[in-house]
Amino acid sequence: MCGIVGYVGDKNAYSIVIKGLRRLEYRGYDSAGIALHQQSKLTVYKKKGKVADLEDEVVGKDNGGTVGIGHTRWATHGEPSDKNSHPHVSASGKLTLVHNGIIENYAQIKAELIKKGYQFHSDTDSEVLLNFIEDIQINNACPLEEAIRIALRRVVGAYVILVLDEADPQTIIAARKGSPLVIGIGKGEHFLASDASPMLEYTKEVVYINDYELAIVRPDELILKNLGNERITPYVQKLDLELSAIEKGGYDHFMLKEIFEQPQTIQDCLRGRLDLTNGDIHMKGIEEYAAQLVIAPRIIILACGTSWHAGLVAEYIIEELCRTNVEVEYASEFRYRNPIINPGDVIIAISQSGETADTLVAIETAKAKGAIILGVVNVVGSSIARASHAGAYTHAGPEIGVASTKAFTAQLTVLTMMALKLAKLKGTITTERFLHLLHELQAVPQKVSDILENHLNIEALAKKLTEAKGFLYLGRGVNFPIALEGALKLKEITYLHAEGYPAAEMKHGPIALVDEHLPVVFVATKDAYHEKIVSNMQEIKARKGRVISVITEGDTVSPTVSEEIFVIPEADELISPILSVIPLQLLSYYLGIIKKLDVDKPRNLAKSVTVE
């Protein structure tokens, strides 16, 4: 959720941290703050609102210092306000902390501290944690590092923390459990952040911190320890990421940029895997576990949000091609059930960030019961990637817009290739069908480009729908999850109510919503269900509903029952979801722009959901 940045070195910390906060604002934008070590004193600036509001607050004030920590907040405990903003300062004023995560047993600890005379100036669990650390330090007369270690063994929940000590002007102490932390290594300086984007222009060498690790970070020193005070050798990795990937590149918004990047990101996803010359798919993770996957009794897909919709599409494709039973579960529900997991079951965990807390806990539960874990994630080195036995990166590149677009189509592409590879291994697909689908996948990037060339048609359609108060999205078969995804995008970006439904279920309730004011968006591409969905369109039209259809090129029937259409290129029905979602992404974007909303940072949402 929240974004965290830290710097220790010989440069101006404020300028580095504030720039990093701007890059992490997609992770939280209820408030922002920064703490600077200035001549043996700690100076804190924080403000409700966005990073720009914080910058305005600091204008004309002392922003000197070469050590600093910063935070962009997505509120969990306590409403967005100046007092609940981070960094928090301890009772003595000698420590300051930024925190990403939730301390679940904070109320008990807070009650204990109040009995000792502590007063609290915010509603946050983070201030409780900071004062708990200070109380341990005082009562045990121990170094701050040891106090943090003791405190973290007591607390329950998820966290990344960065702590500054007034008495130690060259050190940041950091620790993590369940939330991401990356440390960038420079010459005489170190950078800390929730992801690598704030440090890209300074270094390409990073260390991904693991759960239950504590880092003591100084300009010329990085010490890693576990909570048992044992030293750990940092594993330095090279970033394969360019600065241009996290900048707008001439687009008005990251969301639009990322929608238009999809031809390239899908191509990147296919590169090195799709082998038309030899008629094969190369996926190391699948090949390593081929023997187990072929005999797996079932596959369970775990995901949240948009990734869950990708899982639903994969369910249709895997069952069709591999003849294996597939179940798709919300990770947030799965983790709290007592699920029946047997050795040999396969879990596919889908997450853009690779840090989704619910999904991470769910796969840990399944892994303990003997399941094989395959991760489908975008972020290299993320927690889910490391917790999985194998899997595949989507190679979509950084996705800054909070509402997922290019990550979704990359997930669909990877999942389709996984299904094809498994089907070939199992012998459940003919060579002819296999080669046909390889060629269909190869053609997807160009077809997406063709769709995007007609984006102004979607903008014109959005202008006709500005008075709508709600939308209904309908699809059948493999396009039903695309209807769900279209509705979710509209909710996220425009704050309008939108419902996604199987078209066949329309008569079992949702048809009561239909009148002349309700736009009903059909994902009506040519497939085995086409005649049925045209009948559903006619039923809506008969009740004066506004029928808007995403249709396949050459379809002459759907336009006769549609008020508006958007045409996509012809594709195999198992491949078409990658194409049919593009117009729905654009529709949400343009409606959001018309309504003058912040499409990159919708209210109440954060990009990476690392807390419950």
Kindly report the average pLDDT of the chain as a whole number.
92
Per the listing, tokens 């968006």 go with 521
Domain ranges for the chain: 3-245, 249-451, 454-612
Q: Which backbone phi and psi does 236 adopt, to 5 degrees? A: -85, 130
Q: Residue 610 above 70 pLDDT?
A: no
608 pLDDT band (50/70/90 cuts)? Answer: low
List the catalytic residues: 2, 607
| Fold type of domain 249-451 | Rossmann fold (3.40.50)
321 neighbors 430 (Cβ within 8 angstroms): no
pLDDT tens-digit readout, 510-557: 788 888 889 999 999 988 888 888 989 898 888 888 999 999 999 999
The CATH class of the 3-245 domain is alpha beta
Dihedral sign from CA coordinates of 239, 240, 246, 247: positive
Task: Tell me the whole-structure pTM to 2 decimals.
Answer: 0.81
The DSSP bridge partners found for residue 57 are none
Range scoring the smallest mean pLDDT among 57-61, 102-106, 174-178, 507-511: 507-511
**40: number of Cβ within 10 Å:** 9
pLDDT tens-digit readout, 213-265: 999 999 999 999 998 899 999 989 887 766 666 677 788 999 999 999 999 99
Fold identical between 249-451 and 454-612?
Answer: yes
In angstroms, the CA 263 to CA 273 distance is: 16
Type and span of the H or E element at 225: strand 221-226
Q: Residue 130 above 60 pLDDT?
A: yes
Q: Which CATH superfamily is domain 454-612 in?
A: Glucose-6-phosphate isomerase like protein; domain 1 (3.40.50.10490)
Percent of the chain whose predicted confidence (pLDDT) is above 90: 72
64 neighbors 12 (Cβ within 8 angstroms): yes
587 neighbors 490 (Cβ within 8 angstroms): yes
578 neighbors 266 (Cβ within 8 angstroms): yes
Average pLDDT over residues 160-189: 93
In angstroms, the CA 303 to CA 331 distance is: 5
609 pLDDT band (50/70/90 cuts)? Answer: low
